[in-house]
Amino acid sequence: MLNPLEHPWLLMITGIVVMAVGGWMRQNTTSEKGLPILLAGIAVAVGAFGIDYVFKTDNEQIRHIIDIGSKAAVQADASLLKPYVSSQYRDSAHPNKAALLRRLESTFALIALAQIHFRSLVVNVRGRQAECLLDMAIFPDPKQSVTGGGMYFVRVAMQLKKESVGQWMLANAEVKSVNDTPFEWGQVP
């Protein structure tokens, strides 16, 4: 069964169908019979918008963290990521959260990015754990970056976990490839 929190458009379609039935009943029978059905359809459709606005699904929360990471990279501000990195963060080159944030700060000082475009994002959520595979096109700023201009295709694998407060946190991130060539954290400037 589909979860209405993950698929609010389903409620929207249901509301529209119920409104159409109510409108038809108002035109073809007495207006008093169709009015409650018409109002119910409006309530369901408005409720769908409300659910989508109030409740953030796991995928939406994870996408938000990825968007914050992109914003941090373009603005060269690793502190934007700090609230979204788990205190138990660990990857192949960084033993903890502080080491990752220091690496990002030093990398951002060398490589200024003009923009990042997401090519694909695959998210697999299993309970309180999630795995993401992110492919992006990165455009260095030719005026401010030591790498010059151009474009790089970067693949990053991430693991996130839902912590006790119900917020998703980045637990691990590994650079997998740059321009389809295997790459790892140790090669990042």
pLDDT in tens, 140-153: 887 765 656 688 89
Q: Which domain holds residue 115?
A: 78-187
Q: What is the pTM of this model?
A: 0.74
Task: Please check whether residue 63 lies inside any domain of the structure.
Answer: no
Entry field: residues in the chain:
189
pLDDT at 1 over 60: no
CATH of residue 131's domain is 3.10.450.50
CA gap 136, 138 in Å, rounded: 6
90-133: pLDDT as tens digits: 999 999 999 999 999 988 888 888 899 999 999 999 989 999 99
Whether residue 151 sits in one domain with residue 100: yes
Q: Quick one: 109 and 161 in the same domain? A: yes
Q: What is the mean pLDDT of residues 66-70?
A: 94
Number of C-beta neighbours around residue 49 at 10 A: 13
Inside any domain, residue 21: yes
Residue 147 lies in a domain: yes
Whose tokens are 């606005």? That residue is: 53
Say if 65 falls within a structural domain. no
If asked whether residues 49 and 101 sit together in one domain, one would say no
Q: How many CB atoms lie within 10 A of CB 130?
A: 22
Same domain, yes or no: 85 and 177: yes
